[in-house]
Structure 1
Amino acid sequence: MAKQFMDVKETAEYLNMSVQWVYREGPRVGLMPYRFGRGPNSKIQFRIADVQAWVRQRSDSR
């Protein structure tokens, strides 16, 4: 099965942004985070297809 989600670090590397930017600005600019688990051990991840679509949308609008 193909990988469907990226963690915050992978997302930051893919976007060439900092991890802090992904946490702080990602949701504000339209990147939808998914939370897996509960409490302090929960993991934030982003759907790969959503991140790729966001990048395409941003590059099409320029």
Structure 2
Amino acid sequence: MTAQFMSVRETANYLNVSISWIYRHATRSGLTPYRFGAGTNAKIRFKRSEVEAWTKQQRTF
């Protein structure tokens, strides 16, 4: 099974945060970005399974 990746926009929509939040805080919050390409044209993606797991860890009871 291949890993499914989400774009920055898809990740922001999924988490209900702004795109700028993703760029500024995702790594500090524990989300791992993956870069495809080099330089300024690199595409940043997030693994769907990791985003879903991260979301479950953020729950408060």
Is this a same-fold pair by TM over 0.5?
Answer: yes
Mapping of 1:6-21 within 5 angstroms?
6-21=6-21
Following TM superposition, where does structure 1 have runs of at least 4 consecutive aligned residues deviating by more than 3 angstroms?
none
Partners of 2:3 and 2:39 in 1: CA distance: 24
Give SS of 2:58's match. helix
Does the alignment pair 1:53 with 2:53?
A: yes
Gaps of 5+ in 2: none
Match of 1:33 in 2: 33
Q: What letter matches 1:55 in structure 2?
A: T
Partners of 1:3 and 1:53 in 2: CA distance: 14
Q: CA deviation at 1:29?
A: 0.5
C-alpha RMSD of matched pairs (Å): 1.4
Partners of 1:2 and 1:34 in 2: CA distance: 15
Q: Percent identity?
A: 53
Partners of 1:32 and 1:48 in 2: CA distance: 11
**TM-score normalised according to structure 2 size:** 0.92
